Chains A and B, each alone.
Chain A
Amino acid sequence: MESLMAYVIGILFAAAIYMMLRRSIVKLVIGLIILSNAANLLIFAVSGMTRGAPPLIPEGAAAPLGIIADPLPQALILTAIVIAFGVLAFAVVLIHRAYEVVGNDDLDQMKDTDT
């Protein structure tokens, strides 16, 4: 499964970068969303994907019984998801403000800091 995900991740990254390179600011936002998903999947895939063994310790036991999924990348991704939302919200509002000020959604027109 991991090797299959590697290709998916590649495609997601490519799509994200392509969207972020567009001059229309709305597309930039879409690219940002794809990028954060791609990054999360990347961390998830390289640490190994295990089916049906969540990193929980059953009641009464002191340690998990048998092999479980790696909890560390999950902890990293969990915060990454929430932070990505915060950053996305910031970016979206910033873009919206920029659009209002510049009056144009072409990124190449947003060159000056003075407007």
Chain B
Amino acid sequence: MLFAVLSGFILAMFTPLLQPVAQNKTGWILAILPLSLTLYFASFVPAVSQGEVIYQEWQWLPGMDINLSFMLDGLSLLFALLISFIGVFIFIYAGSYLQGHKSTARFFVIMLAFMASMLGLVLSDNLISLFVFWELTSITSYLLIGFDHEDESARRSALQGLFVTVGGGLALMAGLIMLATVGGSYQLSEILTASDSVLESSLAVGMIICILLGTFTKSAQFPFHFWLPNAMAAPTPVSAYLHSATMVKAGIYLMARLNPAFTEHALWTVSLSLFGAITMFVGAYLAYSATDIKKVLAYSTVMALGTLTMLLGIGTEYALIAFTCFLLAHSLYKAALFMLAGAIDHEIGTKDLTLMGGLRSKMPRTAVITAIAALSLAGMPPLFGFIAKEAMFEAVIGNDSYQALILILALAAAMLVMAIAAVVAIKPFYGELRSTPKKPHEAPLAMLIGPAILAVLSLMFGLLPWVPQNSILSATVNAVSVTPASFSLALWHGFNLPLLLSVIALIGGILLFVFWQKTRPAIGHLTTQASRFGPEAGYFSMMNGITYIASWQTRLLQNGKLGNYMIVMILTTVILVGYTLLSQYGLNVYLNVEGIAFYEFFIVLLMLLATIYAISTRSRLGAVASMGVLGFTVALVFIHFSAPDLGITQVLVETLTVILLVLVLFKLPGFSRYSSRYEVIRDASVAVLMGVLMTLLTLAAIDVQFFETISGFFVESSYPLAKGRNIVNVILVDFRALDTLGEIFVLAIAALGVFSMLKLRAEEK
């Protein structure tokens, strides 16, 4: 499973090489990866549907209980299948959608990384690796939303999504760490079995709030829903993927994953069901009031996410069944609809629903597929969306707390969704043909194959509900709930209350659709008015506030004079460290010259002379030369005192430093004297204070040793464990290789910094 997750990242690395070769076929070729992943995950279906849970573990940082461990149960398998299966069509679609775009390769690189992080997220069994993948999805989706980085609004939307989700991510991290502390392990599978100790702990409330902040922001729950519609600044394939199987579903996944641990806690159930219900209604309402087809779909995703959260919150067996069905149904139709909307936009050049009409004759296939997918969205029989909606009504009716409120919201949302579905399926294709920016024609195969297959699946699962149920959905429900559940899905349940509600929703929806032309402008106006006080306005005023405070404190504390900053920092250090040193250790000045050979004195003397010459000379060449002398005497010290590696390194670096200084320094003006006598005295006193402090500190450090150093271990195990006889090198490349890795990255950053500073100038000229 590790390779299943990593394969996306690895392939991403090679995509830039593939793109120039494969050209327009890149999408098709890359789709092989998600396809094989789908088959790979599908091979687990028989085992998982029998209730088996598959664990695989790779050590990462075993010392900190952080491992790359993966768990495949019904829930993660369902998500993994959705991610990889929908991914197949997204890649094929994107290859066609972005044809001719200049940075297609960049798009695919991020997209692959996005898919891989999402897979990692749903498969992780370790809280820390889960969190790492969680943040990776935030970052990759930021890059995807801002893909069109020359467009300012895209950049703004991307940043907004990042701020909201990463802000939530911080809270989530706190929540997860609390959870691990209380649960006694970072392994999810172990925490879930210890739910009693989790619930009884005093941290439970804080933990739930933190985790929910994370999942609500990620899954665009009210009041954080505003970033999601803006995220459609991304190219359509991204929206289709982000809305259907990835990103926003990450929050849903995590809530479902943790549901068995928290389902007994009132705060968890109440906040999930209430916020979910509100989100559901708000999303449906906003979707109804929008005219941009992508925006309509985006808000309907908000509605779906709300529904899912609400169902988790209700938490009864029925609710969880409805949850899984709805999850599957939504992923299928939403991916299809987004891709179709993108296809329409791509072929006619507008996203505005009010400008569309009569495309049926021009785009017949698109029209048919849209109709099927929209039926599933509306929850009409015989599509799978119908089963999901019936189950949802059933669950809402069987709910105890806030039954009336949630039922009303659910019914209203269902009506609005019915109307939206009708708008999306009918408005663009029927009626008279409107003139559009581009001459409409049928979309290419690559853009239709995905929606077609997904729509057919919606239909097939509706007609044969036992297929998904037996293969995966029952396992999913069992993974989400505490008690084992058995159920069977069917299209026809007889005449009952859910069916009645469906009929009411249908009638209401049709009415709303018929009056869409008349009511929509008024509602749209109202929404615009209301948005001034909405959460998005809050987001903007918060951002303004941060900038304001930042500029205020900058004016106050940072007046732009480097010297002042340094003096403040140094004096603070001197006072704090000096106080601690004197109060804890006392003043102990000593000098032990015993055993020092006269040439050692000579080296030291040379060192000091070079330094003093460097600060007093007015010639740059002299200063550079004395720096060379200083460097070489330091190298002498290293070599003389048993550090041959250091000596060699120092000599080589010193040579390069002199070359560097010669290359640059002489293009700068010579040493200038700017300081007044007062400033010289002030700076000199600060410097002397610092020097005295460092001397005292060094003397103290030589004098006392509080604990045994760890060097003994390195010395002893260098040969037996690491097969190296140069212990310094063994430490660098084996024992502390991670540090060294970090250090070469620092070098790389410095080099690229230099390069870009000089390169940038070259372009200006």
Task: Please say whether the chains A and B touch (CB closer than 8 A).
Answer: yes
A54-B644, A93-B754, A108-B674 known; A29 vs B653 contact (CB < 8 Å): no
A101 to B422, CA, bound (A): 60
Interface set, chain A 1-23, CB cutoff 8 A to B? 1-23
Interface set, chain B 591-620, CB cutoff 8 A to A? 591-593, 595-596, 600, 604, 607-608, 611-612, 614-615, 620
Q: How far is the CB of A25 from chain B (nearest CB, A)?
A: 7
A21-B683, A37-B634, A82-B653 known; A89 vs B563 contact (CB < 8 Å): no
A38 to B611, CA, bound (A): 11
Interface set, chain B 668-703, CB cutoff 8 A to A? 668-675, 683-684, 686-688, 690-695, 698-699, 701-702
* Structural contact, B686 and A21, CB atoms closer than 8 A: yes
Q: How far is the CB of A86 from chain B (nearest CB, A)?
A: 4
A30 to B567, CA, bound (A): 18
* Structural contact, B746 and A86, CB atoms closer than 8 A: yes
Provide a sorted-by-A list of 15 A–B residue pairs whose CB atoms are within 8 angstroms: A4-B596, A8-B604, A16-B687, A21-B683, A23-B672, A23-B675, A26-B665, A34-B611, A44-B641, A44-B646, A69-B641, A71-B715, A79-B743, A97-B761, A100-B761
Does any Cβ of A come within 8 Å of B750's Cβ?
yes
A90 to B683, CA, bound (A): 25
Q: How far is the CB of B760 from chain A (nearest CB, A)?
A: 9
What B residues does A10 contact at CB under 8 A? 691-695, 698
Interface set, chain B 247-301, CB cutoff 8 A to A? none
Q: Assign chain B's interface to a size class.
A: 35 or more
What A residues does B623 contact at CB under 8 A? 26, 30
Does any Cβ of A come within 8 Å of B190's Cβ?
no
Interface set, chain B 561-578, CB cutoff 8 A to A? 561-563, 566-567, 570
* Structural contact, A57 and B743, CB atoms closer than 8 A: no
A14-B691, A42-B694 known; A78 vs B649 contact (CB < 8 Å): yes
Q: How far is the CB of B596 from chain A (nearest CB, A)?
A: 5
Q: How far is the CB of B489 from chain A (nearest CB, A)?
A: 61
Interface set, chain A 50-70, CB cutoff 8 A to B? 50-59, 61-64, 68-70
* Structural contact, A18 and B591, CB atoms closer than 8 A: no
| Smallest Cβ-Cβ distance to B743: which chain A residue | A79
* Structural contact, A75 and B718, CB atoms closer than 8 A: no
Which one of B29-37, B388-396, B722-730 contacts A?
B722-730
* Structural contact, B698 and A24, CB atoms closer than 8 A: no
What A residues does B561 contact at CB under 8 A? 107-108, 111
A114 to B307, CA, bound (A): 49
Interface set, chain B 111-157, CB cutoff 8 A to A? none
A27-B671, A50-B642, A54-B642 known; A9 vs B698 contact (CB < 8 Å): yes
* Structural contact, A111 and B736, CB atoms closer than 8 A: no
A64 to B711, CA, bound (A): 13
The SS class assigned to the B binding surface is helix
Having A26-B623, A33-B657, A42-B694, one finds 9 other A-B pairs with CB under 8 Å, namely: A7-B591, A9-B698, A10-B692, A11-B611, A15-B612, A22-B683, A37-B630, A54-B642, A57-B727
Among A11, A47, A59, point to the contact of B725 (Cβ < 8 A).
A59
A86 to B750, CA, bound (A): 6
Q: B581-596, CB under 8 A of A: which get 1 and which 0?
A: 0000000001111011
Name B residues whose Cβ lies closer than 8 Å to a Cβ of A: 559-563, 566-567, 570, 590-593, 595-596, 600, 604, 607-608, 611-612, 614-615, 620, 623, 627, 630-631, 634, 637-638, 640-646, 649-650, 653, 656-657, 660-661, 664-665, 667-675, 683-684, 686-688, 690-695, 698-699, 701-702, 709-711, 714-716, 718-720, 725-728, 731-732, 736, 739-740, 743, 746-747, 750-751, 753-754, 757-758, 761
* Structural contact, A51 and B714, CB atoms closer than 8 A: no
Most chain B beta-carbon neighbours within 10 Å: one of A6, A49, A96: A6
The SS class assigned to the A binding surface is helix
Q: How far is the CB of B619 from chain A (nearest CB, A)?
A: 11
What A residues does B699 contact at CB under 8 A? 3, 6
* Structural contact, A8 and B607, CB atoms closer than 8 A: yes
What B residues does A55 contact at CB under 8 A? 642, 715, 726-728
Most chain B beta-carbon neighbours within 10 Å: one of A2, A3, A34: A3
What B residues does A61 contact at CB under 8 A? 719
* Structural contact, B614 and A15, CB atoms closer than 8 A: yes
Among B592, B611, B740, B750, point to the contact of A15 (Cβ < 8 A).
B611
| Smallest Cβ-Cβ distance to A22: which chain B residue | B675
A12 to B634, CA, bound (A): 12
What A residues does B693 contact at CB under 8 A? 10
A94 to B758, CA, bound (A): 9
What A residues does B559 contact at CB under 8 A? 111
Chain A: interface residue total (CB-CB under 8 A): 92
Q: How far is the CB of A14 from chain B (nearest CB, A)?
A: 3
* Structural contact, A71 and B728, CB atoms closer than 8 A: yes
Most chain B beta-carbon neighbours within 10 Å: one of A30, A56, A99: A30
What B residues does A99 contact at CB under 8 A? 668-669
* Structural contact, B698 and A6, CB atoms closer than 8 A: yes
A72 to B643, CA, bound (A): 11
* Structural contact, A3 and B725, CB atoms closer than 8 A: no
Among A1, A11, A45, A96, point to the contact of B668 (Cβ < 8 A).
A96
What B residues does A59 contact at CB under 8 A? 725
* Structural contact, A21 and B726, CB atoms closer than 8 A: no
A47 to B638, CA, bound (A): 13
A100 to B339, CA, bound (A): 51
A32 to B645, CA, bound (A): 23
Among B590, B694, B711, B754, point to the contact of A70 (Cβ < 8 A).
B711
* Structural contact, A93 and B751, CB atoms closer than 8 A: no
Q: How far is the CB of A81 from chain B (nearest CB, A)?
A: 5
A85 to B667, CA, bound (A): 19
A7 to B614, CA, bound (A): 18
* Structural contact, B670 and A94, CB atoms closer than 8 A: no
A13-B691, A79-B739, A92-B664 known; A44 vs B637 contact (CB < 8 Å): yes
* Structural contact, B620 and A26, CB atoms closer than 8 A: yes
| 8 closest cross-chain pairs (CB), A and B | A14-B691, A111-B560, A10-B695, A86-B750, A69-B642, A18-B687, A6-B698, A71-B727
* Structural contact, A17 and B691, CB atoms closer than 8 A: yes
* Structural contact, B646 and A78, CB atoms closer than 8 A: yes
Q: How far is the CB of B699 from chain A (nearest CB, A)?
A: 5
What A residues does B595 contact at CB under 8 A? 1
What B residues does A68 contact at CB under 8 A? 642, 715, 727
* Structural contact, B757 and A46, CB atoms closer than 8 A: no
Among B591, B643, B653, B664, point to the contact of A54 (Cβ < 8 A).
B643
A24-B671, A41-B634, A46-B702 known; A81 vs B593 contact (CB < 8 Å): no
